[in-house]
Amino acid sequence: MSRADECDIVCFSHRPSLGREAIESVAPHKVRLLDTSGMESSTSALVMAAIASAPCDRVIVMRDKVRVTAAHIDEVVAKMKEGWALVHRIAIGFFGIDKELLRAVGNYDQRFGNGAEDADLIFRCGERGIGVYDRQLPDEHYRWDIPTSFDVHRQWVDLQSKWDYSDVSICPDRGRGYASEWRPAAGPKRVVRVDSDRPHLHDLGQARGDADRFRRWSEVDKIESLGDVLAGAKNGGDVYDWSRFEFVNRGFCRAGYVP
């Protein structure tokens, strides 16, 4: 089996008891617990550490607040085998990713420490024409009752510092500060890059050079609204054709290589 076909599962946590609960929920799958005690606390940094720690190119990443089953793991693996480089099931909390995607579009952006890491990566996939699979699980699969230490409102400031998405209106969820849904405005659905990437400097190893084998953005006909991505476990919301979104770059630097 090639390194492109194997898969690792990593749960990152600084709370051992919560981490063990998350791992037990997906038995009999073998999951490695990454102790993040003392690490940089931003989500993008922790996610990059989890991905970089995996020896295989395909990685499933779990937060300790996730409560999914072995069947959900099997679903993510199956979608990655279908050619999806990024499979979001609870946004940045439970997802599958191929390291070759990050080699192609760049690592997670280090400016995002309070949310929107996933939205930024989806935008960069759209720029490169690489498809993403996003079907969010219901709230019951995430421990929303555990308070977060992050300022979730900060994500809008960070995201707007890099992208102009004024063609899409946002309806914030008043309870959490996340987006409950994103609605495409009338007319062109453009997302315009207004700043360069600032990727985390993790070494993911030598590129395979086969990112062109991933499913394409044009194949993403209908996926959950990006608000569902940002909400992490928000179910429902608008469903619309993401493949019609136009990504505009006016000369800003993109990380990674062009597949």
Q: What is the mean pLDDT of residues 59-73?
A: 96
Q: What is the mean pLDDT of residues 42-70?
A: 95
In a domain, 256, yes or no: no
The length of the chain, given as a count of residues: 259
In a domain, 255, yes or no: no
Per DSSP bridges, beta strands 246-249 and 7-13 are unpaired
pLDDT in tens, 162-172: 998 777 655 44
- The dihedrals phi and psi of 142, each to the nearest 5 degrees, come to -140, 140
Residue 231 in this model has a pLDDT that exceeds 50 = no
pTM: 0.85
In a domain, 125, yes or no: yes
Range with the poorest average pLDDT among 31-45, 48-62, 188-202, 239-253: 239-253
In a domain, 144, yes or no: no
Q: What is the mean pLDDT of residues 209-232?
A: 67
- DSSP annotation of 1 reads -
- Local confidence band at 94 (pLDDT 50, 70, 90 cut-offs): very high
pLDDT in tens, 175-217: 444 444 444 444 557 888 999 999 999 999 888 989 999 999 8
Q: Which has more confidence, 150 or 178? A: 150
Per cent of the chain over pLDDT 90 is 46
Query: Taking a C-beta distance cutoff of 8 angstroms, is the pair 92, 142 a contact?
Result: no
Burial of 230 (0-12, 13-18, 19+ CB in 10 A): buried
Residue 236 in this model has a pLDDT that exceeds 50 = no
pLDDT of residue 190: 80
Greatest Cα pair distance, the chain, in angstroms, is 49
Q: What is the mean pLDDT of residues 81-98?
A: 93
19 SS3 class: helix
pLDDT of residue 168: 63
In a domain, 257, yes or no: no
In a domain, 203, yes or no: no
Range with the poorest average pLDDT among 37-46, 85-94, 242-251: 242-251
In a domain, 143, yes or no: no
- Cα separation values, 176 from 74, 93, 116, Å: 30, 16, 14
**CATH for 104:** 3.90.550
Q: Which has more confidence, 94 or 175? A: 94
Residue 125 in this model has a pLDDT that exceeds 80 = yes
How many domains would you assign to the chain? 1
pLDDT of residue 228: 44
Average pLDDT, the chain: 81
Q: Which domain holds residue 189?
A: 7-138+151-198+212-249
In a domain, 131, yes or no: yes
